Amino acid sequence: MFALIRATVYATLFASIILVFIPMRILNSFGADLTLPNVFEKWLGLLIVLAGAGFSASCVFQFAFKGRGTPAPFDPPRQLVTTGPYRYVRNPMYIGAALAMSGAALYCRSIPLLLYNFGFLLFCHLFIILYEEPVLDRLFGDDYRQYRCQVRRWLPVIRKKNAK
């Protein structure tokens, strides 16, 4: 339970800064078009935000309950998490965050916010390659190396179960 509290606090701080504070500054600086003539775009953007946020939240729960840790680099999971969304893709939390930001960019009709999202993904990619993957390799060894061979970094893979 303590891992869930820690994970929730760290995820909330991350989301508050990276997914709310900075995007709000971008919207304040460059403006947003909230008077959409097409209500469909507004609802679609909102649904994408909620889907991305929910996807990321499910990852936080996986880290807390299965990994007994948090997404924060200074308080990582104690066990390798390969369940939930992690069965299909190695970085679903970042994907969920980027999805939420894409929805916000659509909702606000903000190209600068969409560009920030691409920068966020580039930063995540570099962080994963230069920091996360080497650390996970040291922490979890062969289990992580086997997981890396079976699950892609960004594009989900859905495998059919073998019928026996």
| Full-model pTM | 0.82
Q: Which residue has the higher pLDDT, 27 or 3?
A: 27
pLDDT for 120-130, tens place per residue?
999 999 999 99
Q: In the prediction, which pLDDT does 163 show?
A: 46
Distance CA 107, CA 100 (A): 10
Q: In the prediction, which pLDDT does 91 show?
A: 95
Above pLDDT 70, what percent of the chain? 88
Q: In the prediction, which pLDDT does 3 show?
A: 65
Q: In the prediction, which pLDDT does 49 show?
A: 92
pLDDT for 44-89, tens place per residue?
999 999 999 999 989 988 988 898 888 888 888 899 999 999 999 9
Q: In the prediction, which pLDDT does 70 show?
A: 80
Q: In the prediction, which pLDDT does 96 show?
A: 95
Distance CA 30, CA 142 (A): 47
3-state secondary structure the chain: CHHHHHHHHHHHHHHHHHHHHHHHHHHHHHCCCCCCCCHHHHHHHHHHHHHHHHHHHHHHHHHHHCCCCCCCCCCCCCCCCCCHHHHCCCCHHHHHHHHHHHHHHHHHCCHHHHHHHHHHHHHHHHHHHHHHHHHHHHHHHHHHHHHHHHCCCCCCCCCCCCCC
Q: In the prediction, which pLDDT does 142 show?
A: 96
Residue 36 confidence (pLDDT) above 70: no
pLDDT for 142-152, tens place per residue?
999 999 999 99
Residue 10 confidence (pLDDT) above 80: no
b/e burial code for range 107-142 (CB count within 10 A of at least 16 → b): bbbbebbbebbeebbeebeeebeeebbeebeeebee
Closest Cα to residue 116, out of 103, 101, 129? 101
Q: In the prediction, which pLDDT does 127 show?
A: 95
Task: Give the position of tokens 């997981």.
Answer: 147
